[in-house]
Amino acid sequence: MDPKHCLVTGASSGIGKHIACEMVEKGWKVIAIARRADELNKLARLLGEDKLIPMVCDVSDFEQVKKTSTELINRKIIPSLFYLNAGNGDEEDENFDLDLHKKTFETNYFGAINWIDQWVPVLLKKEGGTFVGTSSLQSFVALPGSAAYGSSKAALNYTFESLDAMHYKNNIRFALIYPGPVDTPMLKTDKPIPSAWKPEKAAKYIVKKVLKGHMKIKFPPRWVLLLGIGKRLPRSFFRVK
Ligand SMILES: NC(=O)c1ccc[n+]([C@@H]2O[C@H](COP(=O)([O-])OP(=O)(O)OC[C@H]3O[C@@H](n4cnc5c(N)ncnc54)[C@H](OP(=O)(O)O)[C@@H]3O)[C@@H](O)[C@H]2O)c1
């Protein structure tokens, strides 16, 4: 039997890199996507070049996603699982930054949707497949300094849930991961964040849940609880004094 293929975006670092390692460990062949070729090649050497295919692609650039997808199809590599994990997030201040909003949406929202555009028609002709979007617990509560990041993730939530309802009958699933703090370069902090998970732990948890068919995956538990409480608080609680 052919080995199963999965595609992981943002595989050069953090959560995505460890998802790639976990999936190889589980016997899958991984197509690893990111912009940094050196990091992807290092990972391929580590895990085995027959097990991980590095492909350089800027997910925010539709033409690059199209070219990469076409190359895979021409090589008869059809993933049945897509971890659409690439993302970025910059802290915002009082000066509204339209460019930052656009850049954040290009990566976090369109960087996932571009793949869906390319692969849903392919999966409709096959026996289906699963897209796993990496959202954030932050998408539940509008925090100051997170207007671009939080809204890009909230948009992803809506699109994935809507597409899931549409394509359930076609055996195409759209699952969502909602991480709280995970100790990766994205956190950009020198101080340890309490109860943050290591990316290895996050990836193990994600892969276990995804392979069991879970559709909403939230962690770490303490932050799920905290953000759950935050969601019920009045808007005035979050106002910057
Ligand atoms: N860490 C957290 O606390 C946390 C919490 C909630 C949600 N998340 C989400 O988890 C996901 C993974 O983040 P992380 O924490 O693992 O951060 P990370 O270590 O900084 O990894 C981000 C990954 O995304 C890739 N990437 C960024 N822009 C890209 C682009 N335009 N095209 C292709 N790849 C791109 C980066 O690769 P290249 O630079 O090589 O392209 C890198 O591999 C993100 O969606 C993030 O929003 C993280």
Query: What's the average pLDDT block by block, 10 residues per block, for the chain (241 residues)?
Result: 84 98 98 98 97 98 98 97 97 94 98 98 95 97 95 98 98 98 89 94 98 98 96 94 86
Q: What is the DSSP letter of 13?
A: S
Q: For residue 11, which atom of ligand 1 is closest to its CA?
A: 43
Q: CA 52, 153, 107, 184 torsion: positive or negative?
A: negative
- 3-class state of residue 85 by DSSP: coil
Spacing, Cα 86 to ligand 1 middle (Å): 4
CA–centroid distance, residue 237 to ligand 1 (Å):
29
Centre of ligand 1 from the C-alpha of residue 173, in Å: 22
Q: How many whole angstroms separate alpha carbon 160 and alpha carbon 174?
A: 5
Closest to 31 in 3D by CA, of 118, 124, 105: 118
Out of 13, 146, 219, 224, give the residue to mutate to test ligand 1, the one with the largest number of ligand atoms within 8 Å of its CB: 13
Using alpha carbons only, give the angle 23, 28, 31 rounded to the nearest 5 degrees.
80
- Pinpoint the alpha helices (H) of the chain: 14-25, 37-47, 62-74, 98-104, 110-125, 147-167, 199-211, 221-232
116-151 pLDDT, tens digit each: 999 999 999 998 999 999 999 999 999 999 999 999
pTM comes to 0.97
Pick from 24, 35, 124: nearest CA to 78: 124
Tell me how far apart the alpha carbons of residues 165 and 171 are, in angstroms, rounded to a whole number.
11
Going from N- to C-terminal start, the domains of the chain cover 5-238
204-234 as b/e: b if 16+ CB within 10 A? bbbbebbeeeeeebbbbeebeeebeebeeee
pLDDT at residue 2, as a whole number: 56
Q: Among 182, 188, 198, which is best to mutate for testing ligand 1, by the most ligand atoms less than 8 A from CB?
A: 182
C-alpha distance from residue 167 to each of 13, 164, 241 (Å): 31, 5, 45
Ligand 1: residues whose CB is within 6 Å? 9-10, 12-16, 34-36, 39, 58-60, 85-89, 107, 111, 134, 136, 179, 181-182, 184-187
Inter-axis angle of helices 147-167 and 110-125, nearest 10: 10
- Per-residue pLDDT, 184: 96
DSSP 191: S
* Beta bridge partner(s), residue 34: 56
Cα 74 to middle of ligand 1, angstroms:
28
* 11 Cα: distance to centroid of ligand 1 (angstroms): 8
The pLDDT value recorded for residue 208 is 98
Pick the CATH number of 5-238 from 3.40.50.720, 3.90.1150.10, 3.30.70.20, 2.40.50.140: 3.40.50.720
Span from the CA of 166 to the centroid of ligand 1 (angstroms): 28
Residue 115 CB neighbours (<10 A): 25
User: Residue whose CA is closest, atom 47 of ligand 1?
Assistant: 87
pLDDT of residue 127: 87
Helix or strand or coil: residue 98? helix
1 CA distance to ligand 1 middle (Å): 33
